[in-house]
Chains A and B, each alone.
Chain A
């Protein structure tokens, strides 16, 4: 089916009916929710799954032999398999539940380079401890959560964090990246799949190949890719990939870290505690197998079950034989819809005098960062809110991006599968009136 034909099949009104919060009135006005990059709204399917879990299945997992514990464990394990399919990982052993994207990155930063044996080489890189002068390449468009853990690690080890420059369009400067890979002993590349401040979709597969060629690992922050792209970690060949699940229609407090099994097996645990051990003895403790080795303590059981429900909901919007096929089809459909709206919004915003759009990458997701000359983004945010339009204003946890473009902040409109042309109209109309008040 062509993109146009797909779009015309897309029944956004039916989808909106699945999200009760969209009926909210904001001081008497229709809610226009365009802050999806911060967090998405939740479908009834997820809310119902949570409620059902609390009402019919609540128990701790992997511990009890009783009815409820087994019921909860079955649902919990099933959700891990659903996530495996979502990422197209080859094994559920590679799917680690965390509390969010940040925790996944911190886990890798804490554990990856700490294997005692200096010869511990795995696939493409070495797990040996960082040495002073070793290089960690971090793209200039990262969220703070894919910068600060590396800075902390560098401070502990004497390694150096170097930024990979970005262009005026908001793309990673691939020539500069090539040069940086050739300078010093590069051990890791940290990059987001989709930028939360610029919308850029980065060429992860290509960047992974290049990094692997010189023996560096790749940590991909997939927080903003999760809601828009069907992800295939095997095709991308990243060593690590994290998700922030509240951005993909699941509850807050739940994240996923994917890691290649060979690496995860060789890495020491991140936190110690219950559930992550095989035997504990004062003469020595042995650890549980993957993925449990990295999941100390009682997990966020309801969050995981809610996540499973969110992915199943997304799949239910697509067609195909298998869960994977349904997901791929569903993502193709709704991201096409989101992109159409976002490009329409961009075209119209550009007509408004004083509007500047940051992030003009060729490959771009439905995220629009913009400023209006002479008006601070916070005033834009408050003005739009009075019209019922929810956007985010600020640095979006990407201060180096703001510095790169010499601006204190931007306003950001970000789309989800339930947004409509009426939302675009409301956004553009409100933005058109901002200047009248402030300028």
Chain B
């Protein structure tokens, strides 16, 4: 295996792509949004259930590349049980991690999500990683759709 590729496709990403967590339609969702990346045709729908300002359940559906599928899967795990403010803070930090050009950064707070740090080196794939997050954000802000454009 090419070592460059290993940086991008970390084992956790491959695992979440093969076995996505929380990939289902959430019947009782009180918010949902559809995300689309016109460049590669990635499609994702994010369903959220909230109570007292907390994400009590979250799931996703759709099809996309390994990066976007794993990102959606890991996102659902990362924000479940978090307050809306916490979820937003994670999104911000995630976005900074994958877009920043600075080499030395500490994103250990992101936990498992740190596996996406390698995406930084592949500018056209950054949108694949952020699409589920933009879609979650759209759902929480009450808009129906998000695109990466």
Q: A-side interface residues toward B, CB under 8 Å?
A: 27, 375-379, 382-383, 386-387, 393-395, 402, 408-409, 437-439
Residues of B within 8 A of A386 (CB): 2, 4-5
Residues of B within 8 A of A376 (CB): 40, 42, 63-66, 69
Residue of B9, B43, B63, B128 touching A437 (CB-CB under 8 A): B9
Whether B18 pairs with A439 at a CB distance below 8 angstroms is yes
Of A387, A395, A408, the most chain B CB neighbours within 10 A belong to: A408
Whether A438 pairs with B14 at a CB distance below 8 angstroms is yes
Whether B63 pairs with A438 at a CB distance below 8 angstroms is no
Whether A378 pairs with B43 at a CB distance below 8 angstroms is no
Residue of A379, A395, A408 touching B66 (CB-CB under 8 A): A379
Residues of A within 8 A of B4 (CB): 27, 386
Give the 4 A-B residue pairs with the shortest CB-CB distance, closest first. A376-B65, A408-B41, A378-B65, A386-B2
A138 to B73 Cα, complex, angstroms = 40
Whether B40 pairs with A382 at a CB distance below 8 angstroms is no
A402 to B63 Cα, complex, angstroms = 14
Output the least CB separation between B26 and chain A (Å). 23
Please list 21 pairs of residues, one from A and one from B, whose beta carbons are closer than 8 Å in the complex, sorted by A's number.
A376-B40, A376-B42, A377-B40, A378-B40, A378-B42, A379-B9, A379-B67, A382-B5, A382-B125, A383-B5, A386-B4, A386-B5, A387-B2, A394-B41, A402-B41, A408-B40, A408-B42, A408-B64, A409-B41, A437-B1, A437-B14
Residues of A within 8 A of B125 (CB): 378, 382
B59 at the A interface (CB under 8 A): no
A402 to B5 Cα, complex, angstroms = 28
A27 to B43 Cα, complex, angstroms = 31
Near A by CB (< 8 A), chain B positions 31-68 give: 39-43, 63-67
Whether A395 pairs with B41 at a CB distance below 8 angstroms is yes
A408 to B43 Cα, complex, angstroms = 9
B8 at the A interface (CB under 8 A): yes
Whether B5 pairs with A378 at a CB distance below 8 angstroms is no
Q: List 13 additional A-B contacts (Cβ < 8 Å) besides A376-B40, A409-B40.
A: A377-B40, A377-B65, A378-B65, A379-B65, A386-B4, A393-B40, A394-B41, A402-B41, A408-B40, A408-B41, A408-B42, A408-B64, A437-B5
Output the least CB separation between B131 and chain A (Å). 12
Of B40, B42, B128, the most chain A CB neighbours within 10 A belong to: B40
A303 to B140 Cα, complex, angstroms = 50
A422 to B64 Cα, complex, angstroms = 31
Residues of B within 8 A of A382 (CB): 5, 8, 122, 125
- Across the two chains, which residue of chain B brings its CB closest to A438? B66
A377 to B63 Cα, complex, angstroms = 12
Residue of B18, B63, B69 touching A408 (CB-CB under 8 A): B63
Output the least CB separation between A371 and chain B (Å). 12
- Across the two chains, which residue of chain A brings its CB closest to B63? A408
Output the least CB separation between A25 and chain B (Å). 13
- Across the two chains, which residue of chain B brings its CB closest to A374? B18
A393 to B66 Cα, complex, angstroms = 14
Residues of A within 8 A of B39 (CB): 394
A394 to B66 Cα, complex, angstroms = 14
B76 at the A interface (CB under 8 A): no
Whether B122 pairs with A394 at a CB distance below 8 angstroms is no
Output the least CB separation between B140 and chain A (Å). 26
Residues of A within 8 A of B135 (CB): none
Output the least CB separation between A429 and chain B (Å). 13
- Across the two chains, which residue of chain A brings its CB closest to B9? A437
Of B41, B64, B66, B67, the most chain A CB neighbours within 10 A belong to: B41
A408 to B65 Cα, complex, angstroms = 10
Residues of B within 8 A of A378 (CB): 40, 42, 65, 67, 125, 128
B137 at the A interface (CB under 8 A): no
Residues of A within 8 A of B42 (CB): 376, 378, 408
Output the least CB separation between B118 and chain A (Å). 11
Residues of A within 8 A of B122 (CB): 382
Of A377, A394, A409, the most chain B CB neighbours within 10 A belong to: A409
A439 to B1 Cα, complex, angstroms = 15
Residues of A within 8 A of B41 (CB): 394-395, 402, 408-409
- Across the two chains, which residue of chain A brings its CB closest to B5? A386
Whether B128 pairs with A438 at a CB distance below 8 angstroms is no
Of A27, A379, A383, the most chain B CB neighbours within 10 A belong to: A379
B71 at the A interface (CB under 8 A): no
B17 at the A interface (CB under 8 A): yes
Residues of B within 8 A of A439 (CB): 18
- Across the two chains, which residue of chain B brings its CB closest to A388? B2
Residues of B within 8 A of A394 (CB): 39-41
Output the least CB separation between B70 and chain A (Å). 11
Residues of B within 8 A of A437 (CB): 1, 5, 9, 14
Residues of A within 8 A of B69 (CB): 376
A106 to B17 Cα, complex, angstroms = 42
Residues of A within 8 A of B66 (CB): 375-376, 379, 438
Whether B5 pairs with A438 at a CB distance below 8 angstroms is no
Output the least CB separation between B14 and chain A (Å). 7
A403 to B104 Cα, complex, angstroms = 44
Whether B40 pairs with A438 at a CB distance below 8 angstroms is no
